[in-house]
Structure 1
Amino acid sequence: MELFVGIDMGTGSSKGVLVTVDGEILASEQRAHVMSLPHPGWAEVDAEAVWWADVCAIASALVARVPAGSSIEGVCISGVGPCLVLTDSELRPVRPAILYGIDSRATSEIVEMTELFGAAEILSRCGKSLSSQAVGPKIEWVRKNEPEAFARATRWYGSNSYIVAKLTGEYVQDHHTASQCDPLYSVREFGWNTEWVDRVLGGLELPRLAWPSEVVGRVDARGAEATGIPVGTPVVAGTVDAYAEAFSVGVRHPGDLMLMYGSTMFLVQVLADYHTNPALWTTTGVQSGTYALAAGTSTAGSLTTWLQTLTGGAPFDVLMREASAVPAGAEGLLVLPYLAGERTPVFDADARGVMAGLTLRHGRGHIFRAAYEGISFGIRQILEMFDDAATPVSRAVAVGGGLRSPVWAQALSDITGQTQLVTEQTIGASYGDGLLAAIGVGAVPPETDWATVASEVPPNPAHKALYDDLYGNWLQLYPATRDIVHAGAQLTK
């Protein structure tokens, strides 16, 4: 029996699956980990001690569960991104990996690089404006602030490409991850921005490019010893976790949208052709020669987890019952969920959370419901931008751990007016990795889809008028409080 290993390195844990050519999961493994937050605005991970250790442990456990007479025919790795892993010539990281848009240290470098290359030209080539999501400014930050570490660096990786290198020795970046490494990659042209590369990389080597399902190497002796995966097993390029997850649930045709409920909310929509909007991210898709539109918030599940800690760790089920008992609209309580700054659509690292309308009448159930509604108002704002910039959403698929909260999922459908589909298999990006590996080695055709819809979350029309009114009020919260919270943000710097 042909089997495939898919492993994903997420923000809070790494997950792996062993799957058959038909998409049946024979085994799964998970390891929790934590990111480091050493300074305000910083978010880091030790790439070797966390990501590589997770992959080695998960792969070894999966290999041990391969049935007799079966063999692993392909491997795919995905991970959070875009991240920055700088290594020396021996693949040793010279500093901790800098994480994706939740790390906002390079604010001045974003301004400088935008002025250097021009905002309009960056948007035209890269499909998005420079933000805390961009890798180029973070490379510049390391060069300016940690010159000794930068002097030792010879190569730069994302989370998945670092693991591919550890497994195979190959230096390669997948097109999709590269398309988020602004301003290094031209989304419009599916290749590096050669005129800008030298200025941004400062002597670092440039990796070759491959599409996520392309075989880029084979497990070498060192990779096999560390993971248990046999020497010579093909490894495909892999990609960013959100896009592997979108692929896993069948989001691959123009108009298809994925809503990822996690520590943050992340949205991916497949495009019919190339579109740009300065408040959104246009990237390449997972499949060769395709485009996608994306957006992401800075908080979502992390907000409700934080709220749960404030209750003394009350059981999740109890909190959900209390939130469910509160009527739609949370009796006038509005939440602006910018507790970690915000990415789409304001791109403001100094934005802060706001509760408006709080009274002695409100309890923790109100606050939880209002938090879910505030997150959902933000998603409505993003979807309106999607409709303006691209093919209208024709099909929305919801994924992620946040779906455990029926209050959240229903609030989002009610507020956006969008029916959400939930697939039978919701294990996440690692499942998409398994499919990418199977496609890459030719075990299944490229159009293979393992996703089956199990349920739907339709909007409740009785709540439309109320939420339309509240949405208008919610939109005023950020501009009304921006100057106040910016002043407060300076106290932490």
Structure 2
Amino acid sequence: MKYVIGVDLGTSSVKTLLVDLQGEIKGEATASYPLIHERPGYSEQNPEEWVNGTIASLQQLLRESGISPEDIEGISFSGQMHGLVLLDEQNNVLRNAILWNDTRTTKECREIEQKLGDGLLKITRNAALEGFTLPKVLWVQKHEPELFARAARFVLPKDYLRYRMTGHIQMEISDAAGTLMLNVPEGKWSEEIVQAFGLPEGFCPPIVGSSEDTGTILPEFAKLSGLSEKTRVFGGGADNACGAVGAGIVREGDAMCSIGTSGVVLTYEEDKNKDFAGKVHFFNHAHPGAFYAMGVTLAAGYSLSWFKDSLAPELSFDEMLKPVADLPPGADGLLFTPYLVGERTPHADSAIRASFIGLSGTHRREHMARAVMEGITFSLAESLELFRQAGINTRRIISIGGGAKNPVWLQMQADIFNTPVVSLKNEQGPAMGAAMMAAVGSGWFDSLKECADKFIAYGKTFEPIPANVAAYTRLFKLYQQVYSATRELNQGLQEFRG
């Protein structure tokens, strides 16, 4: 039997997944590593922690599965996006990586907008936000000039890990799309952007595809991890691209709703000329020649966790949500907006905060819980509405994450989205997507579409209930008024926040 490994290099831990020819999971292991918060708004990590964590995870995976390393044909990666890893001429790391959730770069974002103007959206199809890589590059260039003068190139987190495995410096395309330096429609680095900010020649590494062969395991890494030197290493993908592949989002008409701490709505697209005017993210997909549009709710599952920790700490999630099923849509006239930490789509606003609208003395905890679930789903529906306005038709939505664990919430999604919602039988997220890229790269399948047909098993389909759809259509219009009605209030409250 032959196998592949998917490596999911996350923000707090790395997960490795062993998968056979039928897509069956034969082993998994994880290892955690710390974040570094030197100042408020700063979020960094030591890239060596990624390497050590991956080695530990691979050792455990091989030990517990009992699989011969010689039977592992390929390995590929999912990686946390946007993180800046600066390398010198000898590919030594110059400083801690600045991560996607670091917010120090607001001034650099405004500088990018001023210098590039309309060209930014035309080239990159994405607005300048603190999470992206180019603002981090400019921050180091401005605040650490002596260190930046030694920088020969940069890579992203999973691409650095792949370099340590193979000795080759490359950057995979779906991850490169999140740097604000890639011409997304053309799939190549933008010379205009590189030159506009005085970046050194060769600063942007060669681009590779998600299932492209990038080499084999170096002897020293093989010795440390237990892998065979013959195992082939493939490009991998950005975590959202891998999550989409792992959910089978590889055809037009399919979309994904992922509710974790944050929430994501993502749809597959093959038209490179789609233009969302920067209102949603538009990135190169892991499937060759394809793209995905993505909207983000910053506090999706976090809103429900906050509610439970604050008002029902003694209950499990199942216990807290059980009475929600007995309530009608609209929670007896109560609305919630999930802006606990600001919002991303469609309102890129760091000052806005959450609201309960319509709260009365007759409302109980279960009404508030249902309102929180509905508010999270309404926020995600705003991204879907932007997709539809751009002419993207969605025939079904694959739901993953915490929102897929509760049948009431799955039905709620179908009703609010007015689209059939499907769960997965065995959800493994981005690690499975990475394994699928290794499977295609190893020649098991001709495409990710063919691999998805074999590897992905779907669970129950939740069809929209017409009466609920009608009620939620009216409620959604009210929900959409809350942001504009509370924006100035929240700006005024900023001076009173700790």
Which of the five TM-score ranges fits, normalised by the shorter chain?
over 0.9
TM-score (structure 2 length as normaliser): 0.91
Which residue does the alignment assign to 1:315?
A: 316
Of 417-426 and 379-388, the range deviating more from structure 2: 417-426
TM alignment of 1:37-56, pairs within 5 A: 38-49=38-49, 51-56=50-55
Q: What is the rounded CA distance, in whole Å, between the counterparts of 2:236 and 2:382 in structure 1?
A: 31
Secondary structure in 2 aligned to 1:361?
A: coil
Once the two structures are TM-superposed, the CA of residue 391 in structure 1 deviates from its matched residue by 2.7
Partner of 1:462: 467
* 1:386 corresponds to: 387
* Matched residue SS, 1:115: helix
Q: Secondary structure at the match of 1:286?
A: coil
Q: 1:195 aligns with which of 188, 192, 195?
A: 192
Q: TM-score if structure 1 supplies the norm length?
A: 0.92
Q: 1:344 to 1:172 in 2, by over 3 A?
A: same
Task: Please list the CA deviations of residues 86-126 of structure 1 after superposition, one character each: whole Å capped at 9, or x if unmatched.
Answer: 344555544433332x43322221111111011x2211111
The residue that corresponds to 2:493 in the other structure is 488
The range that moved more, 482-491 or 187-196, is 482-491
> Match for residue 403 of structure 1?
404
Deviates more, 1:36-45 or 1:240-249: 36-45
Asked if 1:134 is matched to 2:135, the reply is no
CA contact (8 A) 1:220 1:232 kept: no
Matches within 5 A, 1:123-202: 123-147=121-145, 149-182=147-180, 184-200=181-197, 202=199
Q: Is residue 97 of structure 1 aligned with residue 94 of structure 2?
A: no
Q: Secondary structure at the match of 1:176?
A: helix
User: For 1:448, what is the secondary structure of its paired residue?
Assistant: helix
Supply the AA of the counterpart residue of 1:448. C
Separation in structure 1 between the aligned mates of residue 193 and residue 391 of structure 2, nearest angstrom = 28
- Aligned pair in 2 of structure 1 residues 366, 14: CA closer, same or farther (>3 Å)? farther
Residues 143-198 of structure 1: per-residue CA shift (max 9 Å, x gap): 2234455345433222211211121122111111111111x110111100012214
Distance 1:452 1:142 in 2: 45
Aligned twin of 1:427: 428
2:23 alignment counterpart: 23
TM-align CA RMSD: 2.3
Question: Structure 2 vs 1, CA of residues 490 and 108 (structure 1 numbering), >3 Å: closer, same or farther?
Answer: farther
Counterpart among 250, 254, 257 of residue 255 in structure 2: 257
- Contact 2:270–2:289 (8 Å) recurs in 1: no
> What is aligned with 1:106?
105
How is 1:290-369 mapped onto 2 (pairs within 5 angstroms)?
A: 290-310=290-310, 311-312=312-313, 314-369=315-370
Alpha-carbon deviation of 1:7? 1.2
Contact 1:104/1:349 (<8 A) preserved: no
* Post-superposition offset of 1:294: 1.6
In the alignment, is residue 471 of structure 1 matched against residue 476 of structure 2?
Answer: yes
- Cα distance change of structure 1 residues 55 and 201 upon mapping to structure 2, 3 Å threshold: farther
Displacement, 1:32? Answer: 4.8
1:237 aligned residue: 235
Alpha-carbon separation, structure 1, partners of 2:340 and 2:67: 47
Partner of 2:451: 448
Q: Percentage identity across aligned positions?
A: 29
The question of 1:247 aligning with 2:245 is answered yes
| Distance change >3 Å, CA 375–CA 320, structure 1 → 2 | same
Kindly provide the amino acid, as one letter, of the partner of residue 220 in structure 1: L
Bigger CA drift: 251-260 or 124-133? 124-133
Give, in angstroms, the shift of residue 205 of structure 1: 2.2
Judged with a 3 Å threshold, the aligned counterparts in structure 2 of structure 1 residues 14 and 327 are, in CA distance, closer, same or farther, namely farther
Query: Please, which runs of 5 or more residues in structure 1 have no aligned partner?
Result: none
Alpha carbons 1:267, 1:294 under 8 Å: kept: yes
Return the alpha-carbon distance in structure 1 between the equivalents of residues 415 and 12 of structure 2: 29
| Alignment deviations for residues 377-421 of structure 1 (CA, whole Å, 9 cap, x no partner) | 111111111011143112321122331233332222211111111
Mapped to 2, the partners of 1:194 and 1:162 lie a distance apart of: 23
SS at match of 2:451: coil
SS class of match (1:369): helix
- The alignment partner of 1:462 has SS state of helix
Measured after TM superposition, the shift of residue 35 of structure 1 is 4.3
For 1:392 and 1:298, the matched residues in 2 are separated by: 24
SS in 1 for 2:165: helix
Shift of 1:133: 3.7
Alpha-carbon distance change, 14 to 105 in structure 1, aligned in 2, over 3 angstroms = same
* Matched residue SS, 2:332: helix
Aligned residues of 2:189 and 2:204 also touching (Cα < 8 A): no
Query: After the TM superposition, which of the residue ranges 348-357 and 85-94 deviates more from structure 2?
Result: 85-94
**How far apart, CA to CA, are the structure 2 residues paired with 1:173 and 1:490?**
43
**Which blocks of at least 5 consecutive residues in structure 2 are unaligned?**
none
AA partner of residue 453 (structure 1) = Y
Find the residue that maps to 2:185 and give its secondary structure: coil
Cα shift at 1:451 = 1.3
After superposition, give the CA deviation of every residue in 1:40-99 in whole Å (9 maximum; x if it has no partner).
Answer: 4444434332x3333122211122224359611110111221222234455554443333
For 2:233 and 2:370, locate their aligned partners in 1 and report how far apart those are by CA, in whole Å: 44
Alignment size in residue pairs: 489
- Tell me, in whole angstroms, the C-alpha distance in 2 between the residues paired with 1:91 and 1:358: 57
SS at match of 1:77: strand
- Read off the aligned partner of 1:67 and give its amino acid letter: I
Residue 360 to residue 85, structure 1, CA distance change in 2 (3 Å): farther
Equivalent residue letter for 2:367: H
2:9 maps to what in 1? 9
Maintained 8 Å contact 1:128/1:276: no
